[in-house]
Amino acid sequence: MNHVDIKAIAQKPEEYFDKKVTVCGWIKSYRDSKNMAFIALNDGTTLNHLQVVIDKNVLTEIPEGATRVGSSVKIEGTAVKSFNQNQAIEVNAQSITLLGDCPLDYPIQKAKTSLDYLRTLPHLRVRTNTFNAIFRVRSKLSFAIHRYFQERGYLYVHTPIITGSDCEGAGKIFKVTTIGYDAKYKSEAEYNADDFFGQSAGLTVSGQLEGEVMALAFGKIYTFGPTFRAENSNTTRHAAEFWQIEPEVAFAEIDDIIAIATEFIKYIIKAVLDECPDEIAFLERFYEKGLRAKLHKVVDDEFVKVDYTEAIDILKKSGKKFVYPVEWGNDLQTEHERYLTDEVYNKPVFVVNYPKEQKSFYMKQNPDGKTVAATDLLVPGVGEIIGCSEREADYNKLMQAIKDRGMKMSDYDNYMDLRKFGSVPHSGFGLGLERILMYATGMGNIRDTIIFPRAKGELR
Ligand code: 4AD
Ligand code: MG
């Protein structure tokens, strides 16, 4: 249809003053008076609605449906300078065509738009201002992520979605199969052998292992794709399907990759501030007071780096009663992470050198024999957004780590070869896209950053 985006008009109003325009969109509000009517129109290209002014003496025929919230219309008219200080431009309508009527039982009405309620209507909530803002930030953020790596010569790689190995070894793999289990199979091995791949297969939890293969050929690579975890707990921070960004860098040790992660996070948060000012202002107004200042602080301030052992000390001395006990050797629970980020530092924190038992097999073992060169980046309000480590480059130590965890050695033959043929120090990290999006938009629930969220018992 021949029409102009509302964003184009809003961005350069002076180019449209006193010109004929055709705009399309959905009606966000309709205000009526004796001689005049006003439509707030939105076509999704911008958070800001366009005001359409109807002089009822000029436009005598208004289709009935075109007065209802949610209806879609095409409007022809003249763009004029607005005297309302909230907008630069408005359109005096000359004709209104109803494209799609929206009956009065349209469930997205102003009075009922809590996030909980909107979650029951994933296909319609995306038309609200809130989701207009969130998904635009998601798009800009994703593009900024690509730009960061592309500008620095990283290779973008697509790693497999179906995999035969468990990168994290956490047993959260969704099984991929074409046949049901049947009494005719005498063992699981026999069942798997009969299945599509002739072995057990699952959806990937991480592209890292294949990312390492590519990094040891191309030097600097990144992945950006969907990953899957059968998370049994229903939390506000875990999804069964989420997007992960995983750079992998050859000739980089743990401090090098921490420096890269820091620069990267600052870069993408700055991009959101620069490219989504209206969205951030909206989200600040309705969801998180101080959001903009918080994001500016991420760009401007240094991140904290604290040793796991010291973090345990701080937690022990805090005098706080935690549900999970604070002991050297235990994993940090959300409540511990939140205490460190929200109460002690109030900014992003790298916790480094975790006990090796708490972490994955591939992480480089430190000379102390107890810890690994791994770090999580924690941020206030959300907790962990990045999992990061230097990889174990020593053949024998890696083999031992796989054995110690009772993992199947034959699943990692390719991976072991990387340590056999031209092994190099290398490091990488994984950023959860939805986690950083929660942080950047002030959303408290990961379900509000994904169009159709997948979680235990949730699939629509
Ligand atoms: O810490 P994780 O498990 O690390 C890895 O997967 C490594 N292979 C990454 C690497 O070094 N290449 O996950 C990385 C990040 C987490 O910090 C978190 O942001 C996100 O992925 N994440 C999830 N996001 C949403 N829902 C879930 N269930 C998530 N699990 C992890
Ligand atoms: Mg992690």
**pLDDT for residue 112:** 63
Q: If you average pLDDT over residues 130-154, what whole number do you get?
A: 98
Distance in Å from the first CA to the final CA of the chain: 32
Burial zone of 35 (CB within 10 Å; 0-12 exposed, 13-18 middle, 19+ buried)? exposed
In the chain, the amino acid numbered 442 is G
Among 222, 235, 257, 435, which residue has the most ligand 1 atoms within 8 Å of its CB, making it the best to mutate? 435
Half-sphere exposure of 24 (CA within 13 A, CB side): 8
pLDDT at 109 over 90: no
Share of the chain above pLDDT 90, in %: 94
Ligand 2 center from residue 288 Cα (angstroms): 26
Q: Which atom of ligand 1 is nearest to the CA of 386?
A: 17
**pLDDT for residue 167:** 83
Which tokens go with 36?
A: 């005049």
Compute the C-alpha angle 429/430/431, nearest 5°. Answer: 125
Look up residue 379 and give its DSSP letter.
E
Q: Which ligand is nearest to the CA of 386?
A: 1
Q: Which atom of ligand 1 is nearest to the CA of 384?
A: 17
Q: Please state, in angstroms and rounded to a whole number, the distance separating the CA atoms of residues 255 and 138.
A: 29
**pLDDT for residue 345:** 96
Q: Which residues form the pocket of ligand 1, taking CB atoms under 6 Å from any ligand atom?
A: 167-168, 206, 208, 229, 231, 238-239, 242, 244, 246, 384-389, 428-430, 432, 434-435, 446
Ligand 1 center from residue 209 Cα (angstroms): 14
Q: Which ligand is nearest to the CA of 437?
A: 1
**pLDDT for residue 170:** 81
Q: If you average pLDDT over residues 105-124, what whole number do you get?
A: 89
Whose CA is closest to 380, among 352, 409, 341?
341
Q: Which atom of ligand 1 is nearest to the CA of 247?
A: 12
Nearest CA to ligand 1 atom 26: 238
Element (H, E) at 96: strand 89-100
Ligand 1 center from residue 387 Cα (angstroms): 6
DSSP 388-429: EEEBP--HHHHHHHHHHTT--GGGGHHHHHHHHSS---EEEE
Q: Which ligand is nearest to the CA of 385?
A: 1
Q: Please state, in angstroms and rounded to a whole number, the distance separating the CA atoms of residues 50 and 56.
A: 19
The pLDDT tens digits of the residues spanning 27-41 come to: 999 999 999 999 999
Nearest CA to ligand 1 atom 27: 238
Ligand 2 center from residue 375 Cα (angstroms): 9
Judge whether 195 and 178 are in contact, CB under 8 Å.
Answer: yes
Residue 9's φ and ψ, nearest 5 degrees, are: -70, -45
Q: Which atom of ligand 1 is nearest to the CA of 231?
A: 28
Look up residue 451 and give its DSSP letter.
S
**pLDDT for residue 41:** 98
Nearest CA to ligand 1 atom 18: 432
The pLDDT tens digits of the residues spanning 261-281 come to: 999 999 999 999 999 999 999
pLDDT at 86 over 90: no
Ligand 2 center from residue 298 Cα (angstroms): 21
Ligand 2 center from residue 379 Cα (angstroms): 13
Q: Which atom of ligand 1 is nearest to the CA of 167?
A: 8
Nearest CA to ligand 1 atom 20: 432
* CA distance to 22, 51, 89, 92, 93, per residue, from 82 (Å): 17, 9, 5, 10, 14
**pLDDT for residue 111:** 61
Q: Which ligand is nearest to the CA of 206?
A: 1
The pLDDT tens digits of the residues spanning 58-76 come to: 999 899 999 999 999 999 9
Element (H, E) at 28: strand 20-32
Among 157, 206, 341, 382, which residue has the most ligand 1 atoms within 8 Å of its CB, making it the best to mutate? 206
Ligand 2 center from residue 76 Cα (angstroms): 53
Q: Edge to edge, what strands does the sheet with 241-250 contain?
A: 155-157, 220-228, 241-250, 426-432, 383-390, 371-379, 349-355, 304-307
**pLDDT for residue 298:** 97
Whose CA is closest to 301, among 269, 335, 254, 339?
269
Tell me the average pLDDT of the chain: 96
Nearest CA to ligand 1 atom 24: 432
Nearest CA to ligand 1 atom 6: 206
Which tokens go with 364?
A: 């480089």
Q: Please state, in angstroms and rounded to a whole number, the distance separating the CA atoms of residues 458 and 409.
A: 35
Ligand 2 center from residue 246 Cα (angstroms): 12
Among 241, 242, 364, which residue has the most ligand 1 atoms within 8 Å of its CB, making it the best to mutate? 242
Report the predicted TM-score, pTM, of the whole model to 2 decimal places: 0.96
Which tokens go with 166?
A: 């468990």
pLDDT at 404 over 90: yes
